[in-house]
Amino acid sequence: MKPINQYIDHTLLKPTAAKNDIIKLCDEAKEYQFFSVCVNSCYVALAREQLKNSSVKICSVIGFPLGAMSTYSKVNEAKQALTDGADEIDMVLNIGLLKSKDFDGVWNDIEAVKTIMPNNVLKVILETCYLEELEIIKASELAIQSGADFIKTSTGFGTGGATINDIKLMKSVAKDCVKIKASGGIRDSETAMEYINIGVDRLGTSSGIAIVTGKQSNSNY
């Protein structure tokens, strides 16, 4: 198993996050050698500047946090984020289309983003707190078939975050085809290890420092 810090996408997605907060996030990521920082797309260029000459990757969220934007909007937001220096994209699945059983719409939405970034990692956020078990399974299948590299539980802005049951459902579909990212409510090393031990490859959290130092965090993400 790799060191726990290398599972962590060090995350700051609050609407109130200012430039100085992003700079601090990047400094922390370098200090603790997290895998990446995860930021809103407007801050990708700033993160790139702060992280130059470091091994820390940059992840940008797209269509965040609702997933209800047009496919055109998601594609163009992703294009700009990649141009600004993003290494990975975390896009939110269109939950309304999934619940409408417009599975082609969900597929096309994800595929359109993946098509513009064949050589970059795409994570698809299912927002499992809003989904029934069968919907989690179907969303996982659609994301995988549409070219996702990861399926991810949550935005951290819904009514709940990752759960062990949701991860097991996603894992039953993903098998070894794609990886899984757990996010939302992961605030301590015990919880982080629990997810890693059932097969999660990445953790989205703003509590990365608490996780690697064994301290308690009050963060919600």
What whole-number distance in Å separates Cα of residue 95 and Cα of residue 119? 26
CA 89, chain centre distance (Å): 8
Alpha-carbon distance 95 to 99, whole Å? 6
Class of residue 83 by CB neighbours under 10 A (exposed 0-12, middle 13-18, buried 19+): exposed
Catalytic residues: 90, 152, 181
Question: Is 72 buried (19+), middle (13-18) or exposed (0-12) by CB count in 10 A?
Answer: exposed
Run of H or E residues at 48: helix 44-51
Q: Which residue has the tokens 């047009």?
A: 70
Quick one: which of 76, 65, 80 has its CA closest to 14? 65
Contacts of 50 (CB under 8 A, 6+ apart): 22, 23, 26, 27
